[in-house]
Amino acid sequence: MAEVSTAQALNRALRDALAEDPAVVVYGEDVGPLGGVFRVTDGLTAEFGEDRCFDSPLAESGIVGTAVGMAMNGLRPVVELQFDAFALPAFEQVVSHVAKMRNRTRGRVGLPLVIRIPYGGGIGAVEHHGDSSEAYYTHTPGLTVVTPGTPADAYSMLREAIASPDPVVFLEPKRRYWSRAELDLPARTAPMDRAVVRREGSDATLIAYGPMVETALEAAGAAHEEGRSLEVVDLRSLSPFDDATVCASVRRTGRAVVVHEAATFGGYGAEVAARVTEQCFHYLEAPVLRVGGLDIPYPPPKLEHHHLPGVDRILGAVDRLQWEAGWVPDTVPPGVAAPARGSGARA
């Protein structure tokens, strides 16, 4: 075994796909001789030539538009949109063409293409370099949207995405490019449309994905030191959603907190909370809570640590999961009579 970073695992996945399938092509902004801003495509142009891994113009709509044509004509393009917010100029192509082609052609034309998007914060980047846009893509029927939280998943899920007959939006948590694990490559993990339990627990379930998986595990470790057992579920696939794995965990623990970097209002966590509530209502001991980014435009680098969820904010939400039988909310909506506090209620 060797210590492998997420970026190295992605690089190896692209290298192996290029070597095994001549239909695979990799392109985007600075992915050629430079090897990408995060060096995920390092060495691929030198090894496979400029016909297989090459730079594109700085035109995201053109990158995705040409990928549609390539995929319709027998190739398997893997394109990189350099930063999350800079993927938005290509959004019309993604929504109007990538997501709809199979439905529009009554199943006759699939688009086997992968759109790689580095996303999220935690690297001290400036505006337009730290967004979490996953909800835009998951709200679009016709797209598979996945995000790895470990180096092993980075390799396995990217290989599976490239082999898919339909388009995949592959969200890469940029703050975790340098996370490392002991790993033998090539590696195969669970199918990319399945969630996995990263840590077992009995008191509550932390539901996370992408960059927040590692943070959730850190929170679970800290909670263990305080005598509380938290289970951690890594969603991996945002669309489709693995209801079975997630709900099985919540039914075991009776409580859940959803964690993501994106702004909380209208964020992906709202969908998760709704699904869990609908399917686990009679098992829940407390409302499903969400811990997300602040409802503001992405802040300057020196302030992003206030914006991004951390261990303390996650554990703060866990503390609000109505552990005492006599718990009542600290604030009561207007017009609702406040119930009497029991002796075990929080002050």
Mention every residue, 6+ apart, whose C-beta is less than 8 A from residue 170.
114, 115, 116, 117, 146, 147, 157, 158, 161
Helix (H) or strand (E) holding 53: strand 53-55
Alpha-carbon torsion angle 237, 242, 248, 254, nearest 10: 70
Find out whether 255 and 223 touch, Cβ atoms under 8 Å: no
CB 60 within 8 A of CB 87: yes
Catalytic-role residue among 97, 129, 260, 307 = 129
**CA-based nearest residue to 231, from 258, 212, 256, 204:** 204
* Percent helix, strand and coil across the chain, each to the nearest 5: 35, 20, 45
How far, in Å, CA of 164 to CA of 145, rounded? 12
Residue with tokens 């995201």: 60
Radius of gyration of the chain (CA): 21
Instruction: Let me know: does 249 contact 199? Beta carbons within 8 Å.
Output: no
* Annotation marks residue 129 as catalytic: yes
Q: How many CA atoms lie within 13 A of 211 on its CB side?
A: 26
Neighbouring C-alpha atoms within 13 Å toward the C-beta of 183: 23
Angle between helices 212-225 and 311-319 (to 10 degrees): 60
Residues with catalytic roles: 129
